[in-house]
Structure 1
Amino acid sequence: MVLKLYGYVHSTAAKLVAMVLYEKEIPFEYIEIDLSTKKNRSEAYLAIQPFGQVPCIDDDGFILYESRAIARYLEEKHPNQGTKLIPSDPKKRALFDQAASIEAFNFDCYGVPLFYEVFVNPRYGKEVNHEKAKELTATLGTKLDIYEQILAKQPYLSGDELTLADLYHLPVGNVLFMAGINVISERPNVARWYNNMASRPSWQKVKDGLGAA
């Protein structure tokens, strides 16, 4: 049975999973869960994703949610198919885990609330807290200054090879660009690293929205 991906057209987390599916050359069926009409709160969807969030996958009866858990599962189930995204060497694996933590605690935790503050909130009629946005932008910029130092010495966050830890940055990085926040493009090594990933066919297929899988 072909894998099913439940997502929402604009979900950054669902885009991450779809990108990994393309990288791993795994056929899948995309099922739209329209958050704007609260389809995610339906009894049927809550039966497989009790938090009512996207994405979620059904891999021949195996249900899994949370985008990073799904991405790692797909890589570990298909290690020799498509792009290898988690190294098997213990030291390289440790550096991957380190890079994944860097993304979670130095990028995502500032990038997501910043995007919501300046891009999502206005679309729902909420007033932008400009002071909060300024503080988040400054903090994220400080973190990316350290990225700039790391990426001056190596092409990817964990070394010479692309991993999931790098790809994790693409969906939120893209929406920051959409919101006119140029913290990535202002740093040449960070920009080179990001643009290299953003040019990948897998990302080009999903960056503007899901649904044409």
Structure 2
Amino acid sequence: MAQNMMLYWSSGSPPCWRLMIALEEKKLQGYKHKHLCFDKKEHQCEEVKALNPRVQVPTFKHGDLIVNESFAACLYLESAFKSQGARLIPEDPAEQALVYQRMFETNNLQQKMYDVAFYEWYVPEGERLESALKRNRETLVTELKLWDGYLEKMGKGSFLAGKDFTMADVVCFPVIAYFPRFHCPKEKCPRLMEYYEMVKDRPSIKASWPPHWLENPEGPDTLKNL
């Protein structure tokens, strides 16, 4: 099964990482893959262009089927291999709803983190404003409090959508992992950092850990002033 799969990916990309976690959780090791460097614009290669009109990674192919959006690819794997590996979407409709809610809320957390952590990357030097960066930090702190509240309500030792590891964790953990890497103060999101410590050694996450993070465990300190 996995031998018929091909994944084009980049190290440290949350969308790529979540798909790799899903592959591990569904016991689909052995898939073909190609690591592409963002800095060298390798993701814009002809192989990716032929499969993905947006020229983005992850680009994922299973047999003749192409699924490029990371959420869609993760949900495809759960549906296609429902009885294999970990069950990532619960049967109960109410539990499903919470999993889906946390999954899609991840987009908010990711974008607000990017607005601070990569501010100098996105905004040209002549257009940068300290007041804008301050607003971005305040917005991110508010978002972190929201996620901390979710975990607080569910109780110590909970995953993002309850007592079981689900697709919500697959999707969101790669975003949460940026906070300790980029030196976010633990007091800004203590529950999320407890969650991070609990989940980071899960086999599927360790097996898919970004290679360049292993080589350089310390990232930039762009979140230290939250």
Residue 145 (structure 1) aligns with: 145
Residue 178 (structure 1) aligns with: 181
Q: What is the alpha-carbon distance in structure 2 between the residues aligned to residue 23 and residue 126 of structure 1? A: 42
Residue 48 (structure 2) aligns with: 45
Alpha-carbon shift at residue 198 of structure 1 (Å): 1.6
Equivalences for 1:74-93 in 2 at 5 Å? 74-93=77-96
Alignment partner of 2:12: what SS?
Answer: coil
- Please list every run of 5 or more consecutive structure 1 residues that lacks an aligned counterpart in the other structure: none
Q: What is the alpha-carbon distance in structure 2 between the residues aligned to residue 57 and residue 198 of structure 1? A: 25
2:11 to 9, 12, 15: 9
Alpha-carbon shift at residue 180 of structure 1 (Å): 2.0
Residue 64 (structure 2) aligns with: 61
Alpha-carbon shift at residue 46 of structure 1 (Å): 0.6
1:25 to 24, 27, 35: 27
Using a 3 Å threshold, how does the CA distance of structure 1 residues 171 and 133 change in structure 2: closer, same or farther? farther
Using a 3 Å threshold, how does the CA distance of structure 1 residues 136 and 3 change in structure 2: closer, same or farther? same
Alpha-carbon shift at residue 64 of structure 1 (Å): 0.9
Runs of 4+ in 1 over 4 A off after TM superposition: 125-130
- Please list every run of 5 or more consecutive structure 2 residues that lacks an aligned counterpart in the other structure: 213-226
Q: Judge conservation of contact 2:8–2:60 (CA < 8 Å) in 1.
A: yes
Using a 3 Å threshold, how does the CA distance of structure 1 residues 94 and 30 change in structure 2: closer, same or farther? same
Residue 194 (structure 1) aligns with: 196
Q: What is the alpha-carbon distance in structure 1 between the residues aligned to residue 24 and residue 129 of structure 2? A: 37
Q: What is the alpha-carbon distance in structure 1 between the residues aligned to residue 187 and residue 64 of structure 2? A: 42
1:203 alignment partner AA: I
What is the CA deviation profile of residues 126-148 of structure 1, one whole-angstrom value per residue up to 9, with x for unaligned ones? 58754433322221221221222
Q: How many residues are treated as equivalent by the alignment? A: 206
Alpha-carbon shift at residue 9 of structure 1 (Å): 2.6
Alpha-carbon shift at residue 53 of structure 1 (Å): 0.7
Q: What is the alpha-carbon distance in structure 1 between the residues aligned to residue 28 and residue 164 of structure 2? A: 21
Alpha-carbon shift at residue 168 of structure 1 (Å): 2.1
Q: What is the alpha-carbon distance in structure 2 between the residues aligned to residue 46 and residue 171 of structure 1? A: 25
Q: What is the alpha-carbon distance in structure 2 between the residues aligned to residue 108 and residue 168 of structure 1? A: 11
Residue 118 (structure 2) aligns with: 116
